[in-house]
Amino acid sequence: MSGSEAIGVLFVCLGNICRSPTAEAVFAARLMREGLADRIRVDSAGTGDWHLGEPPDPRSRQAARARGYDLEHLRARQVVPADFRNFGYILAMDDANLRDLRRLQPDWYRGELDLFLRAGGCRSPLEVPDPYNGDARDFERVLDLVEVAADGLLAALRARHPFP
């Protein structure tokens, strides 16, 4: 992938109402700040279908809002086969998400299918823990991990792609 075509980054978790929409909003904010919003497309999806069409979990929305990120416009969707055509980077929040994505991955896919934290340069932990059955601290932890990995991912993309 190079040239003028926008790079696509898809963040994936289980329900697409907690972790991956948080990653989408945080990474989108980084892209806006860096003037790269027209060079890198960002989206999120879930491997599961329980929450299709729903906005992000109120606990995720509130925790994100407190750090200046807006999740209000996002709606949950499930991973679809076309995502492998449309996204050169498909980044999973945990090992189970990655396993599910590998099962869906077509043979011809040559993009990067990996854990988000690993792609973002983190060494440990490598998973963003599912906060759905947790408390406010777990949602803060998601944001802590996502913010670090978003910076690392942007640095990795800058190293690989010739942005101005």
Residues between 56 and 95 with contacts to ligand 4NP, criterion CB under 6 A: none
CB distance 72 to 78 below 8 Å? no
Q: Contact between 109 and ligand 4NP (CB under 6 A)?
A: no
CB distance 126 to 43 below 8 Å? no
- Smaller CB separation from ligand 4NP, 134 or 152: 134
Q: Contact between 122 and ligand 4NP (CB under 6 A)?
A: no
Q: If you ran DSSP here, which 8-state letter would residue 81 be given?
A: T
Strands 89-92 and 112-115: parallel
- Smaller CB separation from ligand 4NP, 36 or 101: 101
Stretch in the footprint of ligand 4NP (CB under 6 A) among 13-21, 83-91, 118-126, 154-162:
13-21
Catalytic residues: 13, 19, 130
Rounded distance between C-alpha atoms, residue 116 and residue 146, angstroms = 8
- Would you give the end-to-end CA distance of the chain in angstroms? 16
Nearest approach, Cβ of 17 to ligand 4NP (angstroms)? Answer: 4
Tell me which residues touch ligand 4NP (CB under 6 A). Answer: 13-19, 50, 130, 132
